[in-house]
Structure 1
């Protein structure tokens, strides 16, 4: 079957799919290097397509971000489900924290994404919000069982994510597993027998502001 100008429609579809794959691969690379607020012109250049082609495939930044990190989103949500399925409250909490660290280590762009303010709409049916609620449930269950100290809060995990992002930035090439030691320190400090009194947990509003500022700084680099 041919288009009005004589081109084979299957060829057009193949070209469009090839462009889509190149754009997604380029977005993962650029967002990993510069954060999810990086210029889309840079993504198009890296993919070897024009900016108009990028926008035909992905009309908004949100659409491109969601597609580029679909697998990472799925892994993040699956990690929370695995934690909820674990009977032992400590193993559930520790396993979730370790898997979150592994996701950051495997996907640098996803590290930037979970710290960003890029609005993710209803296409993923509120997956990030649902995953957050699951994480809160894991923490609440561990606290109620006495498996972690009473002052551990859900806001501690985004702060850990900031710390891991910095560690990964410096050690990724030479010490790719250095982040695991920091996670182990964090988990040891969450044990109920940990003696030190913690400073107050960050307020959710202040944490959100910090994430916004972090995204803006990364965009300005």
Structure 2
């Protein structure tokens, strides 16, 4: 009986170490980083990792779910901005800034990870918020009328590509790239687009 309480405390500490280690390793190496690297970062045996998190999905949800929920908070703030264009730009910029800081979350945003209820719920909420932000900016006349939500997803993917290509030499270059892209989305800059937007199904396949 004297060992029961310390064991529970040890298990909780190991779980917390693994969650923090997973977030850090995913940040550096992406979502598909070896689990052995995470165990090593946490200072525990790989068996301990599997005892606490029997599947990669459970670990991903525990480590990156809070980041997905943070993304929802940022989008809610953008949706409540007084100026519709400012709210739209805020949403895109804040999303990309989170991607720049957290490579693992950028991977989660682009992929469908099964059995991640926290992330899935956050992504569903983000989808609704993004549509509301887009609709509001269009109705204000500031955002070009032919932009669809899939276009914004592709735009943020492009920013991620810029981050990956320039992180070592100019880590803020993505902000310049994004500013150019945002200027192209203003209604007064609009020209007819040469191809239709992706459908949501096409976007999932592309990701």
- Shared fold, TM over 0.5: yes
1:122 aligns with 2:117: yes
Contact 2:64 2:105 in 1 (8 A): yes
Match of 2:77 among 71, 82, 88: 82
1:2 aligns with 2:18: no
Contact 2:22 2:63 in 1 (8 A): yes
Q: Distance in 2 between matches of 1:114 and 1:21?
A: 23
> What is the match of residue 6 of structure 1?
none
- TM normalised by structure 1 equals 0.84
Uncovered stretches (5+) of structure 1, i.e. residues with no partner? 4-8, 212-221
Using the TM superposition, give the Cα deviation of residue 119 of structure 1 relative to its aligned residue in structure 2, in angstroms. 2.1
**Structure 2 matches for 1:1-221, cutoff 5 A?**
2-3=2-3, 9-123=4-118, 126-198=121-193, 199-211=195-207
- Aligned pairs, how many? 206
Partner secondary structure for residue 46 of structure 1: helix
Higher RCO (C-alpha 8 Å, min separation 6): 1
1:7-40 superposed Cα distances (whole Å, 9 cap, x missing partner): xx44333432332232123212332344323332
**Backbone CA RMSD of aligned residues:** 2.0
- TM normalised by structure 2 equals 0.89
- Greater CA deviation, 109-118 or 165-174? 165-174
Partner secondary structure for residue 69 of structure 1: helix
Flag the 1:51–1:138 CA change in 2: closer, same or farther, 3 A.
same
- Greater CA deviation, 42-51 or 190-199? 42-51
Using the TM superposition, give the Cα deviation of residue 51 of structure 1 relative to its aligned residue in structure 2, in angstroms. 2.7
Partner secondary structure for residue 104 of structure 2: helix
Runs of 4+ that moved beyond 6 A: none
